[in-house]
């Protein structure tokens, strides 16, 4: 479903994400772990196209999309739900995560898969 190879991201001239590679199969759950400043958030922002300076390859559902704008990635079914205070109080963790795809064209399969896990 998602294959990332040689992912690099920069803040100005600072090379913060260096040559990351991973794959996520359909239905698989993957966690990024590391200390503060290790590049977890930067990696996710890069995958969503929220960080301008990047290189490598990102294939989602068979389509190369690293150079696509964020709104195109969103309509392909990718979403980013930040971990900080930008959540909706009163909703469960699952409900906050599902909000990330609420307007996506691809939300059906994700919601179906999420309901199977419940």
Mean pLDDT per 10-residue interval, the chain, length 118 residues: 94 90 91 89 91 89 92 86 70 76 58 51
How many Å separate Cα 16 from the centre of its chain? Answer: 17
Q: Domain residues of the chain, as ranges?
A: 2-117
Write down the architecture of domain 2-117 according to CATH.
3-Layer(aba) Sandwich (3.40)
Strand partners, 53: 10
Distance CA 32, CA 30 (A): 7
- Asked whether the beta carbons of 28 and 2 are under 8 A apart, the reply is no
Distances (CA, A) of 56 to 3, 22, 35, 75, 87: 11, 12, 24, 21, 30
Q: Which two tokens stand for residue 82?
A: 């930040």
Does pTM top 0.95 for this prediction?
A: no
The mean pLDDT of the chain is 82
């Amino acid at each position: 479903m998602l294959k990332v190879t040689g992912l690099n991201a920069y803040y100005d001239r600072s090379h913060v994400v260096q040559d990351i590679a991973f794959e996520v199969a359909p239905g698989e759950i993957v966690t990024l772990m590391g200390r503060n400043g290790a590049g977890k958030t930067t990696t996710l922002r890069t995958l969503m196209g929220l960080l301008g300076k990047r290189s490598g390859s990102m294939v989602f559902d068979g389509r190369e999309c690293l150079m696509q704008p964020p709104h195109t990635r969103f309509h392909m079914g990718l979403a980013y739900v930040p971990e900080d205070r930008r959540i909706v109080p009163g909703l469960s963790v699952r409900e906050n995560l599902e909000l990330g795809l609420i307007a996506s064209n691809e939300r059906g399969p994700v919601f179906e898969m999420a309901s199977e896990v419940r």
